[in-house]
């Protein structure tokens, strides 16, 4: 009995080598054809507008070799792991250890984040990177309400980010209003736009919803570019006021914060202040989301994500449920946008392209739609990864796209695939058969 | 009136290009039920391959325009079709039974890969070519001196589109492959039980869609005289709008929608503002999806629980 399965696996493995080679050869051939012209011949417009070209057969050969080797490795891995996929890779002991780690990871990460400005006080670069990561954490958490909780795929999230940024920039430069007055206004305006988008798309779902939100995001961007009298068009809005410490400016003047506290002025003060502002905003987003999940509206979002038809059958008002999801997500996007405007001091439509929406969406998806910790970790990984590839401007979007495809194939539920219901019965109830008998009730 | 007629001609030519791309969207949506977000970039790749083939042919000293065109069209169709096949194989097939947003997200990733791949491989600058097909006819000259022109390239675009559409309609309605495709569209499991190779049929759908997108890319190259790595995004969304407007899943609908979008865009640019022409196209997409989700020729989608 035991010998037979052993023999069959052995046989399949020996037959496998020829099979693997054949498959890899086909892949290499396909790669050769694909890359032959696109990579093998490089075109460039000359000085008088006429095209020149030169050949790069070395690169094609290298790419084909990589594909050949890569597909051999993938096939071998597939045979080694077996059809069960990744489940057999992780033994139960490791998994319980990971869940133990998961319980303490979030508090540890939070404490570390609080201490970042203290530890890295002298390293401006790390502080700036930290602010950037936290901005994306906040955006990710905001989009998570729409995509992760309510299950509405929003490809135009950056529109609300833009609305928030331009609201603050225009209010501050035209009327001289302070950041702390404009921040809630930016959030409210973005939420308003969220409802405005939400109304027409109520009947749509899935892919159609995604495309309409994408179109909405593009429309906002195009209007910003073309409405030059208001937004400055492609030149953007510059010299946006920096935030103040509740009315006390953070500068080198006599009534600045440093002078009032009697300490020596340093430009790092403002960076540290910004760091804590965005941390507070992000934590606010997180806190509100967690609280909302325990309210009826949060439960309705999750029900909507799981099954819209069942949701309606249960008497949940899908209209208000969807609209609140859009409005809440948009509001946090607006907050983040206002913060972005005050941090940069300059905004232009360049910052609000579809790529940005896709990046935030990728963070949410990679983080495992609905998991707050996962989104934070994904933002850290994504933005950190982008920083690593900073010198390779073009390649990093290529790698980003590949990562998105691979994650979808490998772990469609994200790194922390977490979709556990937030409510469940703690006690088992016995149900009498009278209640479930066919034809009754 | 003359201005109107001229815009009508321009709009129909632009619409033919959109229609060719839209067919790829509509077929894939009909069979797999997903928006192939990368399809606009496949169109862009088709344009690039046509450009490179053209350049290589010219440098060999070939001067006969019909021969060049024929070779360019065949090579770009073949290679772009292989791109379509590979994309389906790598990015979509493993996700066929995954949760419903997965293929869409994978397609967005694939779109980024293709855009940046061609940027890395071919550079970010716009690639112009000299006009290959020149000349044309003056249809009418008004007293005010306004001339209605029908250029040869416009004729070539429209005739190529009509011929391809005829071939394609024959393929879907009369051949074994077309029957398999329609069967898969209705019920994949049942089609598989009756001996239809579902995987192969889906692959062929992507191959045909990509080949048509390649032709659209070539037509774009000939008509506008340039390609760049970013042209797939907006063209893709407009073609998708066309597919939805015509009724997604319907082939004549895709062509009709393409023509409609081409005309609307041209007339909008001619009579209102050029800056807001993309806004107009996107607004149409939103309005159509909201008020007419089945499009002009589509069937209403029955929701199954």
- State the CATH number of the domain containing residue A267: 1.10.3470
Q: Looking at the complex, does the CB of residue A392 fall below 8 Å from at least one CB of chain B?
A: no
CA-based nearest residue in chain B for residue A221? B279
Give the tokens for residue B176: 């074994």
To the nearest 10°, the Cα dihedral for A214, B50, B132, B146?
-10
Q: Please give the share of chain B, as a percent, with pLDDT higher than 70.
A: 98
Residues A35-76: pLDDT tens digits? 988 888 888 887 776 778 888 888 899 999 999 999 888 888
CB contact under 8 A, A413 and B99: yes
The SS3 assignment for A420 reads coil
* Mean pLDDT, rounded, of chain B: 87
Specify whether A81 is located in the same domain as A110: no
Specify whether A52 is located in the same domain as A148: no
Chain A closest CA to B150's CA: distance in Å?
Answer: 26
Which of B46, B95, B109, B303 to probe the A interface (max A CBs under 10 A)? B109
- Give which of B55, B47, B45 is closest to B116, Cα–Cα: B45
Handedness of CA B215, B220, B223, B227 (dihedral sign): negative
Residues 9-48 of A with CB under 8 A from B: 30, 33-34, 36-39, 41-45
Residues B282-291: pLDDT tens digits? 888 888 877 8
Predicted pLDDT of residue B81: 95
Predicted pLDDT of residue B209: 92
User: Looking at the 3D structure of chain A, how many domains does it have?
Assistant: 2
CB contact under 8 A, B127 and A39: no
Specify whether A261 is located in the same domain as A327: yes
Cα A168 to Cα A335: distance, rounded to the nearest angstrom = 9
**8-state DSSP, A351:** G
Give the tokens for residue A8: 């069959």
Cα A359 to Cα A383: distance, rounded to the nearest angstrom = 9
Band (B259; pLDDT cuts 50, 70, 90): very high
CB contact under 8 A, B116 and A30: no
Cα B227 to Cα B221: distance, rounded to the nearest angstrom = 6
Specify whether A332 is located in the same domain as A394: yes
Cα A302 to Cα A296: distance, rounded to the nearest angstrom = 10
Residues in chain B within 8 Å Cβ distance of A53: 52, 55-56, 59
| Alpha carbon A83 to its chain's center | 30
Cα A175 to Cα A185: distance, rounded to the nearest angstrom = 13
Q: Nearest CB to B34: which of A207, A222, A402?
A: A207
Specify whether A275 is located in the same domain as A398: yes
State phi, psi for B201 to the nearest 5 degrees. Answer: -65, -45
Chain A closest CA to B169's CA: distance in Å?
Answer: 26
A417 is a domain residue: no
Q: Looking at the complex, does the CB of residue A313 fall below 8 Å from at least one CB of chain B?
A: no
Residues B167-183: pLDDT tens digits? 988 988 899 999 999 89
Tell me how many degrees the CA angle B37-B48-B23 measures, rounded to the nearest 5: 40
Cα A291 to Cα B30: distance, rounded to the nearest angstrom = 42
Which of B30, B107, B113, B240 to probe the A interface (max A CBs under 10 A)? B113
CB A427 within 8 A of CB B114: no
CB contact under 8 A, B128 and A222: no
Residues in chain A within 8 Å Cβ distance of B290: 200-201, 203-204, 212
Cα A109 to Cα A106: distance, rounded to the nearest angstrom = 5
CB contact under 8 A, B128 and A206: no
CB contact under 8 A, B279 and A354: no
Specify whether A215 is located in the same domain as A254: yes
CB contact under 8 A, A39 and B121: yes
Residues B24-77: pLDDT tens digits? 888 888 888 888 889 999 999 999 999 999 988 888 888 788 899 899 999 999
Which of B77, B108, B273 to probe the A interface (max A CBs under 10 A)? B108
Q: Nearest CB to A398: which of B120, B233, B305?
A: B120
Which of B101, B228, B303 to probe the A interface (max A CBs under 10 A)? B101
CA-based nearest residue in chain A for residue B284? A215
CA-based nearest residue in chain A for residue B274? A226
B278 - beta bridge partners? Answer: none
A337 is a domain residue: yes
Specify whether A82 is located in the same domain as A107: no
Q: Looking at the complex, does the CB of residue A389 fall below 8 Å from at least one CB of chain B?
A: no
Cα B138 to Cα B147: distance, rounded to the nearest angstrom = 7
Q: Residue B304 pLDDT more than 70?
A: no
What residues in chain A have per-residue pLDDT under 70?
1-15, 49, 81-99, 102, 205, 247, 414-426, 429-441
What ranges make up the beta strands (E) of chain B? Answer: 127-128, 136-141, 147-151, 226-227
Residues A251-290: pLDDT tens digits? 777 777 777 777 777 778 888 888 999 999 999 999 999 8
A426 is a domain residue: no
A70 is a domain residue: yes
Give the tokens for residue A294: 């325990």
Chain B closest CA to A180's CA: distance in Å?
Answer: 33
Specify whether A59 is located in the same domain as A168: no
Residues in chain B within 8 Å Cβ distance of A201: 290
Chain A closest CA to B10's CA: distance in Å?
Answer: 24
Domain containing A171 equals 103-410
CA-based nearest residue in chain A for residue B91? A405
Chains A and B form CB pairs within 8 A to the count of: 177
- Give which of A230, A210, A217 is closest to A353, Cα–Cα: A217
A438 is a domain residue: no
How close are the terminal C-alpha atoms of chain A, in Å?
Answer: 52
Residue entry with tokens 């029957």: B179
Chain B closest CA to A175's CA: distance in Å?
Answer: 29
Specify whether A387 is located in the same domain as A350: yes
User: B131: left (phi > 0), else alpha (psi -120 to 50), else beta?
Assistant: beta
CA-based nearest residue in chain B for residue A151? B101
A252 is a domain residue: yes
Which of A59, A146, A409, A413 to probe the B interface (max B CBs under 10 A)? A409
Specify whether A273 is located in the same domain as A227: yes
Q: What is the ipTM of this complex?
A: 0.85
CB A306 within 8 A of CB A369: no
A98 is a domain residue: no
Half-sphere exposure for B31 (CA within 13 Å, toward CB): 31
Residues B189-242: pLDDT tens digits? 899 999 999 999 999 999 999 999 999 999 999 998 889 888 998 899 889 889
A189 is a domain residue: yes
Specify whether A48 is located in the same domain as A118: no
Tell me how many degrees the CA angle B77-B182-B31 measures, rounded to the nearest 5: 70
Question: What pairing do the DSSP bridges indicate for beta strands B226-227 and B136-141?
Answer: unpaired
CB A332 within 8 A of CB A186: no
Predicted pLDDT of residue B77: 94
Specify whether A365 is located in the same domain as A392: yes
Residues in chain A within 8 Å Cβ distance of B125: 44-45
Predicted pLDDT of residue A41: 86
B250: Cβ contacts below 8 Å, ≥ 6 apart: B26, B30, B295, B297, B298, B299
């Amino acid at each position: 009995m035991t010998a037979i399965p052993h023999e069959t696996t052995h046989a399949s493995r020996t037959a496998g080598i020829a099979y693997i080679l054949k498959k890899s050869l086909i892949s290499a051939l396909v790669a050769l054809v694909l890359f032959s012209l696109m990579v093998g011949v490089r075109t460039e417009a000359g000085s008088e507008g006429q095209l020149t070209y030169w050949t790069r057969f070395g690169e094609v050969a290298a790419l084909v070799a990589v594909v050949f080797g890569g597909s051999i490795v993938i096939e071998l891995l597939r045979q080694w792991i077996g059809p069960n996929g990744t489940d057999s890779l992780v033994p139960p002991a490791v998994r319980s250890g990971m869940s133990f780690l998961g319980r303490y990871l979030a508090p540890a990460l939070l404490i570390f984040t609080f201490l970042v400005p203290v530890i890295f006080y002298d390293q401006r670069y790390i502080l700036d990177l930290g602010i950037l990561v936290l901005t994306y954490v906040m955006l990710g958490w905001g989009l998570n309400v729409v995509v992760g909780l309510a299950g509405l795929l929003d490809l135009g999230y950056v529109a609300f980010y833009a609305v928030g940024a331009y609201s603050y920039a225009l209010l501050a430069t035209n009327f001289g209003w302070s950041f702390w007055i404009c921040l809630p206004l930016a959030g409210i305006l973005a939420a308003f736009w969220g409802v405005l988008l939400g109304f027409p798309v109520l009947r749509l779902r899935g892919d159609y919803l995604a495309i309409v939100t994408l179109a909405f995001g593009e429309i906002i961007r195009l209007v910003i570019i073309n409405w030059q009298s208001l937004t400055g068009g492609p030149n953007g809005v510059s010299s946006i006021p920096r935030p103040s410490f509740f009315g006390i400016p953070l500068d080198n003047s006599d009534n600045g914060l440093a002078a009032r506290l009697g300490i020596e002025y340093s430009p790092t003060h403002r960076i540290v202040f910004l760091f804590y502002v965005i941390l507070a905003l992000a934590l606010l987003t997180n806190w509100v989301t967690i609280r909302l999940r325990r309210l009826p509206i949060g439960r309705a979002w999750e029900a909507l994500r799981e099954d819209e038809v069942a949701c309606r059958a249960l008497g949940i008002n899908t209209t208000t449920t969807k609209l609140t999801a859009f409005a809440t997500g948009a509001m946090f996007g607006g907050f983040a946008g206002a913060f972005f405007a005050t941090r940069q001091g300059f905004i232009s439509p360049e910052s609000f392209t579809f790529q940005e929406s896709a990046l935030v969406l990728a963070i949410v998806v990679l983080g495992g739609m609905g998991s707050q910790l996962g989104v934070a970790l994904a933002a850290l990984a994504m933005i950190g990864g982008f920083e690593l590839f900073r010198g390779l401007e073009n390649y990093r979007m290529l790698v980003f796209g590949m990562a998105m495809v691979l994650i979808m194939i490998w772990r469609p539920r994200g790194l922390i695939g977490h979709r556990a219901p937030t409510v469940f019965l703690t006690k088992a109830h016995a149900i009498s058969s009278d209640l479930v008998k066919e034809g009754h009730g | 009136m003359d201005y109107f007629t001229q815009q009508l001609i321009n709009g129909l030519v632009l619409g033919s290009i959109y229609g060719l791309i839209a067919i790829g969207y509509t077929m894939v949506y009909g069979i797999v039920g997903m928006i192939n977000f990368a399809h606009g970039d496949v169109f862009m790749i088709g344009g690039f391959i046509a450009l490179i083939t053209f350049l290589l042919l010219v440098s060999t000293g070939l001067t006969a325009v019909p021969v060049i065109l024929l070779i360019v069209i065949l090579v770009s169709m073949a290679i772009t079709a292989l791109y379509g096949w590979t994309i389906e194989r790598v990015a979509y097939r493993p996700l066929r039974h995954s949760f419903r947003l997965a293929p869409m997200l994978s397609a967005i990733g694939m779109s980024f890969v293709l855009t940046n791949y061609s940027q890395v491989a071919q550079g970010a600058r716009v690639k112009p070519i000299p006009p290959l097909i020149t000349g044309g006819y003056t249809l009418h000259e008004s007293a005010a001196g306004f001339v209605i022109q029908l250029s040869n390239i416009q004729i070539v675009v429209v005739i190529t589109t009509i011929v391809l559409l005829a071939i394609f309609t024959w393929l879907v309605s009369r051949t074994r492959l077309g029957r398999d495709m329609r069967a898969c569209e209705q019920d994949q499991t049942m089609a598989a039980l009756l001996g239809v190779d579902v995987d192969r049929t889906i692959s062929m759908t992507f191959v045909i869609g990509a080949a048509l997108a390649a032709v659209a890319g070539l037509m774009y190259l000939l008509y506008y005289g340039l390609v760049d790595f970013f042209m797939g995004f907006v063209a893709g969304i407009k073609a998708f709008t066309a597919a939805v407007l015509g009724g997604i899943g319907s082939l004549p609908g895709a062509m009709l929608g393409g023509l409609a979008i081409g005309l609307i865009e041209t007339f909008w640019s001619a009579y209102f503002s050029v800056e807001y022409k993309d806004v107009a196209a996107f607004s149409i997409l939103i309005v159509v999806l909201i008020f007419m989700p089945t499009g002009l020729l589509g069937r209403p989608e029955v929701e199954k629980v």
